[in-house]
Chain A
């Protein structure tokens, strides 16, 4: 079974631009979550989707948004990029309703904002 796939793996943007990151979950997983990882703040929860509905949202400004499609693939968008948005963005999928709902992570998208 293929794992969680995130694209692109690396990207460089400049302040003020916007970026869209993509995530394809493990086949059959309908729950997708996004986390931001930085050296200073560690892993911070961004959002969680299930069946195209946002179930939960972390404490991030409105510049951060996401969505989930009918095939469970998810995208997140960051508009008006700031230097502090430089981070590793991790997507995770889960088989909702089964077991403890452990998350399975992708390799991440490393965003550098110049």
Chain B
């Protein structure tokens, strides 16, 4: 079974400061890891993914994520937060070799990011 933990329900950061949203995962074999963002009353928007290769992955809107295999973590980061980054962020995982070719993702509970002006 695979699982994702987002240990913080909410993260508050001042505008212009760096932000980090934490994610740890558990999966059999190599992971495919994803970050999504959700604005109120909207669907999930894909931010970035890790498949293989460089541990630092760059994505949309200036976000990046660092894959750490030994710590089974995939933290989302941004050097300078904007008020418009305030939203709900989800980390998700699936095994690189999923059964029956399934693309099912397991999501964390989400972290609400509030960027304070």
* A102-B46 in contact (CB<8A): yes
B residues near A106, Cβ cutoff 8 Å: 43
A residues near B102, Cβ cutoff 8 Å: 48, 55-56
Q: Give the interface SS of chain B, mostly helix, strand, loop or mixed.
A: mixed
Q: Give the interface SS of chain A, mostly helix, strand, loop or mixed.
A: strand
**CA–CA, A48 to B104, complex, Å?**
7
Interface residue A107 (Cβ < 8 Å from any Cβ of B):
yes
Given A99-B51, A107-B42, A50 and B101 touching (CB < 8 A)?
A: yes
Contact with A along B34-76 (1 / 0, CB 8 A): 1010000111111001010000000000000000000000000
B interface bracket (residues with beta carbon within 8 Å of A)? 20 to 34
Given A42-B110, A43-B90, A90 and B44 touching (CB < 8 A)?
A: yes
Chain A: residues with Cβ within 8 Å of the partner, total of 28
Interface residue A4 (Cβ < 8 Å from any Cβ of B):
yes
Interface residue A94 (Cβ < 8 Å from any Cβ of B):
yes
* B107-A43 in contact (CB<8A): yes
**CA–CA, A35 to B104, complex, Å?**
10
Query: How many A-B residue contacts, CB cutoff 8 Å?
Result: 63
The smallest beta-carbon distance between B6 and chain A, in angstroms, is 10
Closest to A31 in B: B103
* B46-A103 in contact (CB<8A): yes
* A96-B46 in contact (CB<8A): no
Closest to A4 in B: B43
Contact with B along A20-61 (1 / 0, CB 8 A): 000000000001010100000011010010100001101000
* A101-B90 in contact (CB<8A): no
Pairs A-B, 5 closest by C-beta atoms = A105-B43, A101-B103, A43-B107, A105-B44, A56-B102
